[in-house]
Amino acid sequence: MTGVPANGWYLATTTWRQIVKAATEVGQDIEPWLALTPNLAVNVLVSRISPLHAYLCLKTVKAPTPRAAGRRLFVNALHRHGTERSAQTAFGYHLGMTMAQWMCAGMMGLGPTQHVEAGGPNGDPGFLKASTQLPDLWGAHPDGPLHWLIEAKARRLLGLSDLEKGMQQLQGGSALMHGKSHLQVLCGTSLPAPQR
């Protein structure tokens, strides 16, 4: 699929390889690191992939359709019982960003994404202000001139208040676009325990 899909309900499936690929690509191109400092690039890749291995587990579930595999990722017992809240929050951020990258680039064909904190799509210095509520990522689609502002949210049980905060962050980014047409993307990821 390329481009923004029509409104409707979708059963989006993926593979572990696609999720790992999204984790390595989100927000920053790793290729310059690989070319200039390969030893550091390996560390960057490990830092992006190892949290997924540490805190996720694959469980068999009832397949929602005849062609679905019947497996789903959940947070594991280490995440639920052996990890302090700050590490859980950091992992939620990491997984949320990974899934936003997977959805936007992997499912809708968006080009490379960049962290907004490294500078926004139009060079407005407001994107560099840490105190401003802003989205996480931005990117451009190869098939169109519009920039995408992307906010990623992830929690154990994502709720409406989380999504409302995400919309506020997107609106903060839109204010810095100064009327230039763009798309807003809000990606929510829930981290349920296997019994849910």
Does residue 120 form part of some domain?
yes
| pLDDT of 186 strictly over 70 | yes
pLDDT digits (tens, 9 = 90+) for 20-32: 999 999 998 888 8
Does residue 45 form part of some domain?
yes
Q: Residue ranges of the alpha helices (H) in the chain?
A: 16-25, 31-36, 38-55, 77-81, 85-101, 160-175
Q: Tell me the mean pLDDT in the region 187-193.
A: 83
pLDDT digits (tens, 9 = 90+) for 124-160: 888 988 788 999 999 999 888 889 999 999 988 888 8
CA Rg value for the chain: 17
Check if the beta carbon of residue 127 is closer than 8 Å to that of residue 173.
Answer: yes
Does residue 34 form part of some domain?
yes
Does residue 6 form part of some domain?
no
Query: pTM value?
Result: 0.87
Give CA–CA dist 100/111, Å, rounded: 13
pLDDT band at 64 (very low <50, low <70, confident <90, very high): confident
Count how many domains the chain has.
Answer: 1
Copy the structure tokens of residue 128: 């560099």
Check if the beta carbon of residue 71 is closer than 8 Å to that of residue 13.
Answer: no
pLDDT digits (tens, 9 = 90+) for 77-117: 898 888 898 999 899 999 999 999 999 999 899 988 999 98
Give CA–CA dist 102/90, Å, rounded: 18
Does residue 11 form part of some domain?
no
Tell me what percent of the residues of the chain surpass a pLDDT of 70: 94
